[in-house]
Amino acid sequence: MGYTTIDLKLPPDFSPDVLRERVAQRLRLREFSATIERRSIDARDKQRIHWQVRVGVSSPELPDGAEPDSPSLSIPVSGRGRRAVVVGAGPAGFFCADILLRAGWEVVILEQGAAVEQRARLIENFESTGAFSSIGNYAFGEGGAGTFSDGKLTSRTKGIAAERLWIMQRYVAAGAPEEILCMAHPHLGTDNLRRIVKWLRQDFEARGGEILFETQCTDLVSDRGLVREVVCAERSFEVDAVVFAPGHSAHETFRMLMGAGVRFRPKSFAIGCRVEHPQALVNQAQWGRICVPGLKAAEYRLTMKRERTGLPAYTFCMCPGGTVVPAAAYAGRSVVNGMSRYARDGEFANSALVAAIDLEQVLEHQPTAQEALAWVDSLERTFHESTGSYAAPACRIRDFRPGCVSTSLPSNSFPLGLVATPLGELLPPIVSRTLAEATHVFDRKLKGFSEGVMIGLESKTSSPIQLVRSETGTAEGFRNLYVCGEGSGFAGGIVSSAVDGVRTALRATVAESFPQGV
């Protein structure tokens, strides 16, 4: 049996029969099996939009070649009866806990938010009544912020092939479409993710893991760098190791950790707004037509280098066919994010439009981690106060300039309403100038960009602080305390967060600093 790979250009609506026909023609084979290893859409030439497909072909008619081995993840089984508490049930926390459980640990996940079913009900109530819930919102709850997003599974992190494949295979086992194993830009959609998160939880519990919802860690008991006890409001847990995977919005958890001696430092991050357009406008700009059979909805990624303002700007986390959602983690704040279903068949497209900043530029001094959190919190409050409710401040993109208030706002997807506001006046001046410049640059790159609406505030692209990590992966100064995922400042997005959780668990399984039976 021989093996080879070939690259094909296939029409957007190609079928399995078309794929086999092309393979047979290219290699002149009669008996073979073909597997798509990678596929990405190429729309650079609007008259010849096609899939670029890499196919692995096995056949007795091929003279030589062996199918390459897939990268595999090795999970050492300690068998020592250790207990780990993992704080946070997002991708980082869940996959960390799952690996530890498979390694023979007793594992408890503590999640301050609600289970995904209740979380969805509380979000629906918030959007219909304006009643904010601290346990069921777009930031906190089972599955993390990514559960109510587009569910993108892309990552620019290098050297993670084994971890990434393992995570993708777990998603497929939980009901994700198998195409995520080969797509260049895979996504799950919030509808799939809600089912997947529930399946993963039930599987975790069936194998002996424990998940406690609406349970917040309030304190740690430690002795000379060794955490011995995790304290919650109603009970505490003796531990051999504790992993925090709080996500980037859990400011109260960050403050608790800092009070316990865990060190963080400020880092650069990005802030801005969400921009929204009719999806048909984006399709026309990217494809030269409103619809292409075989494709869902067009995407875009736009960047502007450091030009006159000195800050780079870019679009981030685009949600084709999606909605803009109220994503505040705490009451009395205004934050927006994007969400879409797997079909990406909504009327609108949205994306973050942000400028990368270093707070030292804004504050004119080097802030502490506590100051960085306070600054973000204050900005989110300012945006909420600008409307006096969870309605979001907004303007037409073409009106994003000093002193300008849009006389009307276009139809949009935001469920709690928009209020015409001089949006740029709510942001730091250097950010407003950068975004104003970016809107003109991006209008030249994407026809009709300036015709959309801008909605604020987008403040959750990444954490404004980063853990000070030791070489062994623990928080510096601690022997058995880890922080992973977006809340650590070392990851961003579902896949890189999950990978960080996996790697954190693997570090813990081989660590020798935990005395047994703490």
Domain containing residue 44: CATH number:
3.30.1660
Task: Say how far residue 244 (Cα) sits from the centre of its chain.
Answer: 17
Whether the Cβ atoms of residue 452 and residue 350 lie closer than 8 Å to each other? no
Distance CA 173, CA 157 (A): 24
Strands 453-458 and 392-396: antiparallel
Is 65 inside any structural domain?
Answer: no
Torsion angles phi and psi, residue 173, rounded to 5? -60, -30
Give the tens place of pLDDT for each residue, 74-110.
998 876 789 999 999 999 999 999 999 999 999 999 9
pLDDT at residue 68, rounded to an integer:
86
* Structure confidence by residue, pLDDT tens digits, 164-178: 999 999 999 999 999
End-to-end Cα distance, the chain: 55
- Identify whether residues 489 and 356 lie together within a single domain: no
Picking from 348, 390, 411, the residue whose alpha carbon sits closest to that of residue 127 is: 390
**Position 257 in a domain:** yes
Last residue of a domain, one of 425, 441, 458: 458
Q: How far apart are CA 508 and CA 518, in angstroms?
A: 15
Identity of the amino acid at 310: G
Q: How far apart are CA 11 and CA 161, in angstroms?
A: 29
The DSSP secondary-structure symbol of 248 reads S
Question: Token digits for 265?
Answer: 């430092």
Please name which of 345, 327, 344, 348 lies closest in space to residue 336, comparing C-alpha atoms: 327
Do residues 303 and 258 both lie within one domain? no
Task: Tell me: do 371 and 312 sit in the same domain.
Answer: yes
Residue 287 lies in a domain: yes
Q: In whole angstroms, what is the distance from residue 309 CA to residue 518 CA?
A: 55
In the numeric block, which tokens belong to residue 331? Answer: 């009451």
66 belongs to a structural domain: no
Same structural domain for residues 202 and 144? yes
How many Cα neighbours within 13 Å face the side chain of 356? 14
Q: If we measure between CA atoms, which residue out of 312, 256, 161, 245 comes closest to residue 489?
A: 245
Domain residue limits at 207: 83-263+466-510
* pTM (global) more than 0.85: yes
CATH, residue 235: 3.50.50.60
Number of domains in the chain: 3
Residue with tokens 């946070």: 88
**Residue with token string 């459980």:** 101
> Are the C-beta atoms of 313 and 272 separated by less than 8 Å?
yes
Dihedral, 204, 207, 213, 216 alpha carbons, nearest 10: -100
Query: Do 369 and 309 reside in the same domain of the chain?
Result: yes
Clarify whether residues 118 and 193 are in a common domain: yes
Residues 176 and 231 in one domain: yes
208 lies in some domain: yes
Ranges of residues in the chain with a pLDDT under 50 are 513-518
Same domain, 245 and 274: no
Residue 48 sits in the same domain as residue 165: no
Asked whether residue 236 falls in the same domain as residue 101, the answer is: yes
Q: Are residues 327 and 208 in the same domain?
A: no
Domain-embedded: residue 28: yes
pLDDT at 512: 57
Statement to judge: residues 298 and 172 lie in one domain: no
Rounded Cα–Cα distance for residues 330 and 251 (Å) = 9
Is residue 64 one of the residues assigned to a domain? Answer: no
Q: What is the pLDDT of residue 79?
A: 60
Q: Which amino acid is at 366?
A: Q
314 assigned to some structural domain: yes
β-pairing, 303-304 vs 313-326, is antiparallel
Q: Are 469 and 264 in contact (CB under 8 A)?
A: no
